[in-house]
Amino acid sequence: MIKKPALIMIFLNLFIFSQLAFSLPEKKSDTSKSEKTLRIPRLSQKPQIDGKLDNPIWEKEALKVEDFLQFSPKEKAPPSEKTVAYIGYDSKNLYFAFRCYDSDPQKIRATITNRDNIMEDDWVVIFLDAYNEKRRAFTFFLNPFGVQMDTIRTEKGGSDHMDPSWDAVFYSDGTIDEKGYTVEMALPFKSFRFPDKQKKNFGLVIGRTIARKGEIVLWPEASRNIPGLLTQGGEMIIDGEVQKGRNFELMPVVTSLKTKGEKITPQAGMNFKWGINSNMTMDLTLNPDFSHIEADAPQIDVNQRFALYYPEKRPFFLEGMEIFQFPEIEMVYTRRIIDPIGGAKLTGKTGAFTYGMLSAYDMNPTESLWEVHNGGHTGQKALFNIFRMKADVFKESYVGFALADKEIDGSYNRVAGVDGQFKFNQHFFFNFQAIGSKTKYEQEESGIAPAFYSEFSYYSRHWGGGLYWKSIHPEFRASSGYVNRVDYKTIGSYTSFQLYPEKQYLNQVRFTLRGGRRYAYFENTVLDDWVSGHLHLRVTEFSMINASLQKAMERFGGVDFHKNSFNLNGNLSLIRWLPLGFHLGGGDRIFYNPDSPFLGWSHSYGLFFTLKPNKRLQMRVMFNKETFWKERGGKQLYDYNVIRQRTTYQLTKTLSFRAIVDYNHYYKKIYGSFLFSYILKPGTVFFLGVDNKLLQQEMGHYTQEDYSVFLKFSYWWRM
């Protein structure tokens, strides 16, 4: 039986990590607060942002930062290459410049590519913690040509999340020369939120990566003994008047679509943004354009017990959505809002309180997560209203409240709850979430159905672990969120041990044990039981290999199925012109037939790589395959193959061509897409594209199933 080993693993993990947590001494930092505080000077003139760093104002007036230290592979060791940063400001912009020396400039990795696609290059990075809350930062990356990437970094419970969907308007350029490369950046104060005060105290971490060496250098110094990067950040002080974000932005949008058998359907819409002050923003949209421009990457959707998850890509919903994040149970999943005729959103922070309010009127709502992606709808109308508030408490902790309401033709779903994170003594974390839902569908109305989550964890340089509990009532519903399973209670734990060899091609080894058990909500029936071991090898900071083995039990259709499986995956960026990744797995797997489920045997494989023959051309190939047999060595039930080929040619930083071909062997379909893009800055874009779908007939030839020609133009006015 697997039940006993899983329980033993839970308690063994809990004992190991608790003993280590309370016995290991805390490593003290030798960096004083004064050494981590920068007073930023006001520049007498605006430097030209051309990436050449030849304006004497950088040396004469800007603040100079040189004391960078390695974070990886050799923690706090001197960098192999020198880096100098310059910082200054005026009433409109915050300025950064970097001189990145390199003893072999020909080996610098740099591409002219579209925005947010530079992680495989050399780059510099700025983490700007505008509220100095040590949990969230606006993050800006620049490669040696000045190509931009911006994200929101959030840290919780010893882990971090980078959301690249956030976009800000800022200006940058870069140049490679015989000494290395230089980049310059101007960040308008209107482009980000910060406290409405005369004296501004921002948290700050700046750094650089040397891609071919897998090296990351940072200011200020950071230690892996302390979970989180932002909590170890420095502080920059700006004591002077700046533009506080009281601005109006208009973005008219015009789209036109022509599909097979249909007439051209032009549409106009409008987005409006009002920066009420530097820390409060209102967004309004009317008949918004929610075209994705690029279709969702294909996923294997056969023999799935639960609905697949697809990421949000639509600009109106992405703005400020980090406020609507939760510890575990996702109360807000905006892809539930399918076709809104209009929407409004207010987000900001006042004192210790962060808040967000979102309303949208959906013309084609769905009630099924499967239909969210497949395009089905009820033919009714739905009104969504979502409210979120978080209050900072103690040091680097918060408590929050959320309310999500969906009203649809006399029926409704309302979900409310509290959540929070508490951090103790740099290493201990407690996360919780307690929510309840109430649903009325036609004449039937449920009572309040609860859902709970709590987790206690510990992290240090070499050890970590945690214990968690999660329960969801059978009648719990979250029509504005993503909850794909109800009616269970789960207890689980994990323990990890890690070493840092600090070698050029091996800088981390981590072994993790996990164990857990899931019960039916009102019964002691065991639904799932698992024990697993995981090995993580970080070759460089951006290249890694993972292996895992799992022994599990899953109950389906009243039958207990005992399963053994393995998985191996990796991402390798060791070759400049050929970053690649892979995954393979196999083992026992259930065939989810409600009438007669059985335990079969499955293998899955995947490979993806990007060929970069020059700095402008990128050809990315993705291949996924899953094969299922009725039994090991027995009859094959299905063979699912998906291939995606994506080629991009970047003529300039603003102008590009892109072609995509998807081939689905299982459904015998081919999807082709061609796109011409002109992106001057976020919001000012022109797209012209053609999509074509082909279906294979019985005789083997392909016929056109559908096609579309689309055009989009939008312009961002900032006043």
Q: What is the pTM of this model?
A: 0.85
Residue 694 maps to a domain = no
Residue 221 maps to a domain = yes
Residue 31 pLDDT exceeds 50: no
Residue 149 maps to a domain = yes
Number of folded domains in the chain? 1
Residue 73 pLDDT exceeds 60: yes
User: What is the sign of the dihedral through the CA atoms of 278, 166, 120 and 646?
Assistant: negative
Residue 52 maps to a domain = yes
Q: In the 8-state DSSP scheme, what is residue 192?
A: S
Element (H, E) at 4: helix 3-23
CB burial of 582-609 (b: ≥16 within 10 Å; e: otherwise) equals bbebbbbbbbeeeeebebbbbebebebb
Q: Picking from 29-33, 150-154, 245-249, 711-715, which range would have the lowest pLDDT averaged per residue?
A: 29-33
CB burial of 298-326 (b: ≥16 within 10 Å; e: otherwise) equals bebbebeeebeebebebbbbbbbbbbbbb
Decide: residue 480, CB within 10 A, 0-12 exposed, 13-18 middle, 19+ buried. buried
**Which tokens in the block code for residue 182?**
């230089």
pLDDT tens sequence across 101-139: 999 999 999 999 988 899 999 999 999 999 998 988 999
Residue 656 pLDDT exceeds 50: yes
pLDDT tens sequence across 475-497: 999 999 888 899 999 999 999 99
Residue 323 maps to a domain = no
Residue 181 maps to a domain = yes
Q: What is the CATH number of the domain that holds 163?
A: 2.60.40.1190
Residue 699 pLDDT exceeds 90: no
Residue 89 maps to a domain = yes
Whole-number pLDDT of residue 2: 44
pLDDT band for 300, please (50, 70, 90 cuts): low
pLDDT band for 291, please (50, 70, 90 cuts): low
Residue 492 maps to a domain = no
- 232 is in which domain, residue-wise? 32-239
Q: What percent of the chain has pLDDT over 90?
A: 57
Question: SS in 3 state form for 596-651?
Answer: CCEEEEEEEEEEEEEECCCCCEEEEEEEEEEEEECCCCCCEEEEEEEEEEEEEEEC
Whole-number pLDDT of residue 374: 53
pLDDT band for 587, please (50, 70, 90 cuts): very high
Residue with structure tokens 């807000």?
A: 332
